[in-house]
């Protein structure tokens, strides 16, 4: 199946300044993400960046990059502009891979792209995996997904979901000794869209629940869009948010990753 991968990359980062350009085994992090995406079989991999130095670093390593506006409110807005700059047709399947995920599995990218072909009713695809630790279930920084029998999302929330009818009797964690079964799902921040829907999404009004939870995907559900969810057995590799994350990923790369393939920088 033909699809494209777009990687939003914003140079500013509070916890890790210049994050897209952070060196990982001799190459910028955003280039490492593009290399992982190339292994998924995308016919186009492009970085949507907001700084000339990121664009230049990508192109120096054979990765296509387009320069987008600095003031975009979200990565999805940046992707919408990138779709225009790249002249992607409306029916092109586009996978949004975060620029700080250099350990992302190529198979996961392909599976999320495939969702839109196998689930025509869905306008967005994403992923989730079973939660194994009670502390993750209770952590508001771990976003939970609840799906229906067809694998379509019912809700995303920072709250621990699903929850027992009498679960608050002893406080939110006071009487909780084990996870519910079947295991609740943790949302993974990767998305697929048709290019027309990337553009359309940015024109939707923000939803009250989106603002409350600070979860952009709730805008789609609030407006009646269906989101298909690929459930994978294993958690993805950790993203890079802090200097400590960066050191951990550098160690993994130096030990485990072979030389990358060429990145698909043009449509084929």
For residue 50, what are its two tokens?
């907001």
**Phi and psi at residue 9, to the nearest 5°:** -140, 115
pLDDT digits (tens, 9 = 90+) for 21-40: 999 999 999 999 999 999 99
List pLDDT tens digits, range 173-189: 555 667 888 899 999 99
CA distance between the termini of the chain: 12
pLDDT interval class at 262 (50, 70, 90): low
43-66 pLDDT, tens per residue?
999 999 999 999 999 999 999 999
**Which one is predicted more confidently, 109 or 170?**
109
- What average pLDDT does range 225-236 have in this prediction? 94
> How much is the average pLDDT of 248-265?
75
CB contact at 8 A, 22 and 16: yes
User: Contact, 180 vs 166, CB < 8 A?
Assistant: no
Average pLDDT of 113-142? 94
- The span from the CA of 115 to the CA of 123, in Å, is 10
Cα 13 vs. chain centroid, distance in angstroms?
Answer: 17
| pTM score | 0.91
What average pLDDT is seen over the chain? 91
CATH architecture of 1-104+237-268: Alpha-Beta Complex (3.90)
**178-182: long-range contacts (C-beta < 8 A, 24 or more apart)?**
178/134, 179/131, 179/132, 179/134, 179/137, 182/130
pLDDT confidence band for 3 (50 / 70 / 90)? very high
Determine the 3-state secondary structure of 174 from DSSP: coil
């Amino acid at each position: 199946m033909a699809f494209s991968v777009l990687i939003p990359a914003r140079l500013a980062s509070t916890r890790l300044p210049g994050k897209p350009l952070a060196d990982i085994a001799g190459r910028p992090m955003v280039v490492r993400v593009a290399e992982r995406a190339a292994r998924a079989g995308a016919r186009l991999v492009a970085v949507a960046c907001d700084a000339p130095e990121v664009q230049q670093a990508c192109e120096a390593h054979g990765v296509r990059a387009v320069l987008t506006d600095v003031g975009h409110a979200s990565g999805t807005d940046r992707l919408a502009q990138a779709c225009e700059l790249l002249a992607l047709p409306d029916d092109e399947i586009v996978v949004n891979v975060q620029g700080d995920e250099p350990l992302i599995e190529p198979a996961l990218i392909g599976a999320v792209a495939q969702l839109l072909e196998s689930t025509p009713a869905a306008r967005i695809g994403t992923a989730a995996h079973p939660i194994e630790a009670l502390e993750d279930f209770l952590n508001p920084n771990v976003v939970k997904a609840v799906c229906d029998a067809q694998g379509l999302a019912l809700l995303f929330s920072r709250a621990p979901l699903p929850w027992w009818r009498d679960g608050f009797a002893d406080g939110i964690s006071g009487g909780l000794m084990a996870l519910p079964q079947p295991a609740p799902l943790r949302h993974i921040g990767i998305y697929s869209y048709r290019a027309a829907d990337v553009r359309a999404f940015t024109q939707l009004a923000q939803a009250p629940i989106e603002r409350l939870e600070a979860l952009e995907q709730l805008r789609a559900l609030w407006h009646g869009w269906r989101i298909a969810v690929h459930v994978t057995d294993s958690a993805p590799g950790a993203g890079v948010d802090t200097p400590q994350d960066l050191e951990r990923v550098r160690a993994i790369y130096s030990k485990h990753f072979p030389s990358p393939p060429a990145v698909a920088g043009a449509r084929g």
